[in-house]
Amino acid sequence: MSGAHGRPLRIGLVCPYSFDVPGGVQFHVRDLAEALIARGHSVSVLAPADDETPIPPYMTSAGRAVPVRYNGAVARMTFGPLTAARVRRWLTAGEFDVLHLHEPVTPSLGMLALWFADGPIVATMHTALTRSRGLQMAYPVVRQSLEKISARIAVSEDARRTLVEHMGGDAVVIPNGVYVDHFTRATPDARWTGTPDAPTVAFLGRLDESRKGLPVLLDAVPAVLRARPGTRFLVAGRGDTGPDEVRALLGDDDARAVEFLGSITDAEKAALLRSVDVYCAPQTGGESFGIVLVEAMSAGAAVVASDLGAFRRVLDDGTAGTLFRTGDPADLAATLLRVLDDDGLREKARDHASDVVRRYDWSHVTDEVLTVYEMVTAGSSGRQVGEDPSSRRAGFGRLVRSDRWER
Amino acid sequence: MTAEWGVAEWGLLATAALVLLVWAVWVEASRLDRLHRKVSASLGVLETQLVRRASVSVELASSGLLDPVSSVLVGEAAFAALDASGEGTGTLTSLPPELVRIVAEQGDVPPRATAGAAAGRTAVVDRSQVESELSATLRAALEDADEVAEIRAQPGGAVLVEALAAAWFRVQLARRFHNEAVAQTRRVRGKTLVRWLRLAGHAALPDPFDVDDAWPPALGRPGASARAPEV
């Protein structure tokens, strides 16, 4: 397949979220950029970043992200006239063959770049779409922009379905990529390696975001400890929850089984997933993909996950891992014990998982993305990404509903 | 005067003291009453101006004069402010933090779905925080003087920008007036006589309204005679 991709392309990638804070979309954009560069394409990434944050040479900063309220939560977005001017400059200077936007329906850089640009445009939707009133109000302007997208990519079947429901049309599913070998070849860490008497269960994610499911796991801890007293729960991630809260919740004895690792590096994450017996994903909702599940499967950890649609699909309907009823601590405890007790079950799931993850490896994902680029550029008969004249003042002035302010 | 003080003299003195005390109490009580009414009046004015600013922001966001991203975010912040209005400027800050956290954890539920439980939805929102966020969002959307000049040059643009500046300026004034009234009231309520005799009755102790309403530098200061057009 890779042989089909001919000439090197000039590719512009737009990431809506700041690299100051780690996140799935940011990592995806970074990895995709590096995978494309490794294949000889020239890539420029536009992303928000603070002045102090060191950024790789292929990245251009669109300015600082400011915290604003969006969809009921405080999010860090980069916007305003100075940002808009930077986006426009980056677009015109880049002379891109393809512009690849991420999250064009989130009010951030992707939406701005789409507004300014014209030509071969690819857009990836990562998360479920939100029903924001601000968005609904500005939708007439946004919709015109969205029509300029030549190819839409959804990162999962679930993301595709919400996209189709909300915006009509269709999208091709290309999953987030994982460097599978990076996890397969990671060196286990003795501190986190389980023994038959003291098996280890890992949790990764924001601790104080209840959607990530830490409370569900903590509620399951006592029942697991009663059956297997030596079990250790390794909790990695940032957040205000700590040993004190766990002691208050579980009492001193049970709380000793829960160890907080804090925020960990990429290398530590790979080592952790490579070491533990079970990776537990107790998320209660809002997941459209579940990249950590793929990473855990690559590392060879047995995965125990909530039966959310996205997780069910990543785990190949529960054959590459074990599912439990979402948000049910009793079922989670029972499932964890079943997986810990049954070496054969773990082995079988692990074997199957090592096949499943190949589909998510960057070598494969990059091929698929490049095929999309190829089709989009072929369709535009050699035209590069340029500036959309209607985004200039005079053009978009016609959208002004001046009748209301006439008098 | 050689005569001893009789009952009559003592009685007279006691009566005089009592009259004096009653008078002092009456003075304090009516002063406090006046201040309480002043506080509720200034709160009403502040409320009106905040709502007006949020309404103009919605108009600006839907006007097509801003870029799409600024439109969405300004609209979102303005709707949040309008949602929070009518909940009383101080009441929500006094929820116990645990309760606020519990309610906030339900925040994943889209606002529409909880529209029925209006109390549950808005209790998450701290009014002053929402208004501060609207200020910050507008400042980012209007950070460039050239851009503001261009918006003014568009049909209908100047009217909107003027309306926003006028409403914003009045928010700044109203907040200062209100907080001054609150400070005076709290000073009087701290007095010994007022506390001992519980002259404040059941009236809640007013809280100052702390909000970030710093002016966007690129937005021209409205002239003293500038009037906020009806929105």
**pLDDT, tens only, A205-223:** 888 888 889 999 999 999 9
Strands A386-387 and A117-118: antiparallel
CB contact under 8 A, B72 and A72: no
Residues in chain B with CB shorter than 8 Å from the CB of A404 are 59, 156
**pLDDT, tens only, A78-118:** 888 889 999 999 999 999 999 999 988 888 899 999 999 99
CB contact under 8 A, B80 and A111: no
Neighbour tally for A170: CB within 10 Å: 11
Chain centroid to Cα B131, Å, comes to 10
Q: Three-state SS for A161?
A: helix
Q: What is the pLDDT of residue B218?
A: 86
Q: Enumerate residues 6+ apart whose C-beta is below 8 A from A305.
A: A280, A281, A282, A283, A290, A293, A311, A315, A321, A322, A323, A324
ipTM of the complex model = 0.71
Q: Enumerate residues 6+ apart whose C-beta is below 8 A from A294.
A: A175, A176, A178, A180, A314, A357, A360
Query: How far apart (Å, rounded) are the C-alpha atoms in residues A260 and A239?
Result: 11
Residue B64 CB-density burial (10 A; 0-12 exposed, 13-18 middle, 19+ buried):
buried
Which residues, in sequence order, are bridge partners of residue A14?
Answer: A46, A101
Identify which has the larger pLDDT, A36 or B194.
Answer: A36
Q: How many residues does chain A have?
A: 407
Query: How far apart (Å, rounded) are the C-alpha atoms in residues A159 and A320?
Result: 21
**Superfamily of domain covering A180-360:** Glycogen Phosphorylase B; (3.40.50.2000)
Residue of A313, A387, A344 lying closest to A159 (CA atoms): A313
Contact of A275 with A187, CB cutoff 8 Å: no
CB contact under 8 A, B108 and A211: yes
Taking CA atoms, what residue in A is nearest to B106? A210
Strands A302-306 and A322-324: parallel
Q: What is the pLDDT of residue A220?
A: 94
Query: How far apart (Å, rounded) are the C-alpha atoms in residues B26 and A259?
Result: 65
Sign, CA dihedral B124-B126-B132-B135, equals positive
> Does residue A404 surpass a pLDDT of 70?
no
Contact of B211 with B174, CB cutoff 8 Å: no
Would you kindly state where each structural domain of chain A is located, as residue ranges?
Answer: 2-177+361-401, 180-360
> Does residue A189 surpass a pLDDT of 60?
yes
Q: In CATH, which of 3.30.450.20, 3.50.50.60, 3.90.76.10, 3.40.50.2000 is domain A2-177+361-401? A: 3.40.50.2000
pLDDT under 70: residue ranges of chain B: 1-3, 86-125, 222-231
Q: Judged by CB atoms within 8 Å, which residues 91-120 of B form the interface with A?
A: 105, 107-108, 110-112
Contact of A231 with A225, CB cutoff 8 Å: yes
On the CB side of B156, CA atoms within 13 Å amount to 20
Which string of DSSP letters, residue by residue, matches A17-37? S-TTS--HHHHHHHHHHHHHH
**CA of A125 vs chain B CAs: smallest distance (Å):** 17
Q: What is the pLDDT of residue A188?
A: 93
Query: How far apart (Å, rounded) are the C-alpha atoms in residues B141 and B123?
Result: 28
CB contact under 8 A, A79 and B140: yes
Chain centroid to Cα B173, Å, comes to 11
Q: What is the pLDDT of residue A209?
A: 81
Q: Name the pLDDT band for A42 (thresholds 50, 70, 90).
A: very high
Residue the block writes with tokens 């054969």: A344
Helix axes B157-189, B145-153, angle to 10 degrees: 120
Query: Which of A64, A68, A108 has the most B C-beta neighbours within 10 Å, making it the best mutation to test the interface with B?
Result: A68
Residues in chain B with CB shorter than 8 Å from the CB of A211 are 108
Neighbour tally for A250: CB within 10 Å: 18
Residue of A240, A360, A83, A284 lying closest to B143 (CA atoms): A83
**pLDDT, tens only, A286-344:** 777 788 999 999 999 999 999 998 899 999 998 999 999 999 999 999 999 999 999 99
Residue of A286, A295, A359, A287 lying closest to A321 (CA atoms): A295
Q: Hey, what are A393's tokens?
A: 């003042």
**Among candidates B64, B68, B74 on the partner chain, residue whose Cβ is nearest the Cβ of A401:** B64
Sign, CA dihedral A155-A157-A161-A164, equals positive
- Chain A contact present for B150, CB below 8 A: yes
Query: How far apart (Å, rounded) are the C-alpha atoms in residues B138 and B213?
Result: 10
CA triple A156-A160-A163, angle to 5 deg = 140
